[in-house]
Structure 1
């Protein structure tokens, strides 16, 4: 007979294993990043029936990659032996570029993509967050040569989350993850 503490320990191990599997799923638009690196993997739990419940937060409302993320997480977990998987979308609090990990930021630079600017202080529901519709100021470091003499060429690039910039020092164009 299995004791309650043994069941709890087994459940904790299953949860850790499921979290490791889901955390390793690559982002469909930025495949050098995992969902964990990007900060969209919000949580993984086992419900009272033993189902794995994965929580994802999209980078922005209407993100076209969410369906693919959900499907890939569910497929990998089922393949790993978790027969009952539910992937739910969590919108509150909304995702912010502050959730990209240091490892994720390093990987972006390594792949020629400028990560978003410095982390902002955490904000609560009562804190005002001002939205600026003006172009990002100069000073986004070039991921190739590190010069801050860069300019924005287009507010939109390959994905809605990126802008296209060019380095005036090395003349190379590069994508920049916009701060959200």
Structure 2
């Protein structure tokens, strides 16, 4: 649907339309199509970056937590979220960044983990909180052949939030989304 065709279908934060909580699932659906610029197979909703969607002072407000405070894609993500909401009829969309509590890979949805695997990135294994307490090395499955016979090649992969691994069975290199 184009923004011009939305009138009458949803209430938006346009001055002439009422603002209702019924619009919030639609806003979440819009954001489910906003892909992460570094991993375009998963959305900002899949990654758990979107923490809350609501109305504040008559405008749609989205609360996000970047995957880490120094993430270079944060500004691009904020802009993509704002642009998508505006295109869907939510004028004057506001995106607020909150760093506390810090984002964790535990927030990645099950669907997001499957999308990462299908894209060729091994999703985080286990729970971030449990691993941080025990310092256990992760069991990293190859996203290509599903083997657990893998080895870390480098602590950093294509981005700082990923490590570079290699499968010892199929010999393919792949990124592993670090469990944080």
Does TM, scored on the shorter chain, surpass 0.5? Answer: yes
Q: Deviations along 1:46-96, whole A, 9 cap, x unmatched?
A: 11x321111110001111111001001111111111111110001111100
Query: Where does residue 95 of structure 1 map in the other structure?
Result: 103
Matched, 1:32 2:41: yes
Taking only aligned residues, the RMSD between alpha carbons, in angstroms, comes to: 2.0
- Rounded to whole Å, the distance in 2 between the matches of 1:23 and 1:50 is 23
SS of equivalent to 1:81: coil
Aligned residues between the structures:
162
Shift of 1:131: 8.9
Please report how far the alpha carbon of residue 121 of structure 1 lies from its aligned counterpart in structure 2 after TM superposition: 5.8
Deviation of residue 17 (structure 1)?
1.8
- Structure 1 stretches of 5 or more lacking a match? 1-8, 123-128
TM-score by length of 1: 0.83
How far residue 16 of structure 1 moved from its aligned partner, in angstroms, is 2.2
Does the 8 A contact of 1:138 with 1:151 survive in 2? no
Aligned to 2:83: 75
Evaluate the alpha carbon distance shift between residue 159 and residue 44 of structure 1 in structure 2; reply closer, same or farther with a 3 A threshold: same
Looking at structure 1, the residues matched to 112 and 138 of structure 2 have their Cα atoms a distance apart, in angstroms, of: 23
Unaligned runs of 5+ in 2: 1-17
8 Å CA contact 2:104–2:128 kept in 1: the answer is no
Give the 5 Å matches for 1:1-180. 11-47=20-56, 49-120=57-128, 130=133, 137=137, 139-180=139-180
